[in-house]
Amino acid sequence: MSAIAEDKKTAGDVPETVSRADVIASSNAVLAMPNVPLDEREDIFRVETVGMEWDIGVRVYEPQPADSIKRGADGKKVGIFLLHGGSGDYKSVEKFALLFAQKFAFKVVTMTFPGRLYLDDESRDWPADTINADGTVRTPIWQAGEYVSPDQYELIRDRSKHIKYGTRTLARAKPGSRFYDRMAGWPMAFELGMKTACARHFPEGEFSIYVHGHSTGGPYVSMLSQRVPNIAGVIAIENSTFGYINERKHLWSGHVGKIEGFKRVSEKGDPWKDPFNDLYIRTWRDLARYRGPEALGQEGPNVMMRLPSLMEEILEAWEVARKRPQFKAEYMITHNIVGALEEAARVTAKRLGMNETATQELVDHYTGLTHELTGPDVKSVPPFLFVITKDSRDHSPEVYREVIIPMFREMKPAPRTAVCRLGAGVHTYTKPEADLPIGVAPCAAKLYHDAIVNGFFVV
């Protein structure tokens, strides 16, 4: 792993690896710490952009009293901004949030992607399943009281990524529908929602913010990191990065890695081409595509001898997972689908009656969401501290060494980076395993706490 991390002069004291025994010891120590009293609350606010209103939901975890919030190496209060991954909402990162807030006295805000929060019930649990017996599917709620009716989309059964995903179900928004306009406009709502959440809860001058986006959430906090002045760094555990880097990662033909001596099997990397108006409806298959490689890494090839029981575990897990949103529209930013981004911008510009100059500015804004900002008057990319797990399906040591870190080094100026690999855990880093009741999350939270208070992010 020595080739992955930056040298000690730039990476501070961040370890390159943490053994399984040390992960367990760190987890036990963190979980044994007393809990800090919290003021925990939901904050739902409305933003307006591209001629539409959007309801944004966040959850706030604030240590009490408020003046007890811990300060980092720069002397400012520590604010943690967390985004979930592609299937979830803010409940998906609640365990991680509570570790930072209860154990380390950091103020934490967790945000749900636009349209993902189930506004019709205080529990925020989505009812029924993602695909209904009558052929309709679960769809976003971008504004309280506004729903997507079945006549606004057609269902597509896609087998183009069959090896990895199985059959994908897509709700394709019909041109001219409100659903179509929302699908074209949500990137602007996402960006504004994140900025607004940070401004509401982490005032500049008082807080330094450290951002994390699990998996699909990663490209969004990467983009945000230069657009909010007091974001000091990215705490990137199992966190994809800028869309164009994620695209290169996907295309990298050498990304096979190894799991306990066996090749990590994947489809040949082809560019993603999903149109902007496709909403991906997730099913138990999305649990299976992670559970298979994870079980192989943890149990070896003999796991295939218990395939029926493995499938039962997956289907039982889906009964819980389907309470989360389990639909996804974010691929065009996650995978840098430039054509989809441009089309979404032009559809939005046409709806708003923009002239040619304003239309091009909007196109440039959309396509710029997948890259770091450059130029003399922009904020530099802040430090990234990557943490990857032993049996991650998507985040292998090889892809960091060969693709991700070299691409960060090409940035001007290049941000500080380091990669730490844990000797336990999977992509869903709060998933329990033997001797780790909430996965590797406590160990990761301690690593990030130490990096924040010891100066890794001070540049």
Q: Look at residue 225 in the predicted model and tell me its pLDDT.
A: 98
CATH class entry, domain 8-454: alpha beta
Percent pLDDT > 70 in the chain is: 93
- Residue 185 in this model has a pLDDT that exceeds 90: yes
Q: Which residue has the higher pLDDT, 56 or 269?
A: 56
For position 435, what pLDDT does the model report? 98
Mean pLDDT calculated for residue range 255-260: 41
pLDDT digits (tens, 9 = 90+) for 102-149: 999 999 999 999 999 999 999 999 999 999 989 899 999 999 999 999
In whole angstroms, what is the distance from residue 61 CA to residue 247 CA? 34
What pLDDT score does 135 carry? Answer: 87
pLDDT at 10 over 60: no
Instruction: Please give the mean pLDDT across all residues of the chain.
Output: 92
pTM of the model: 0.91
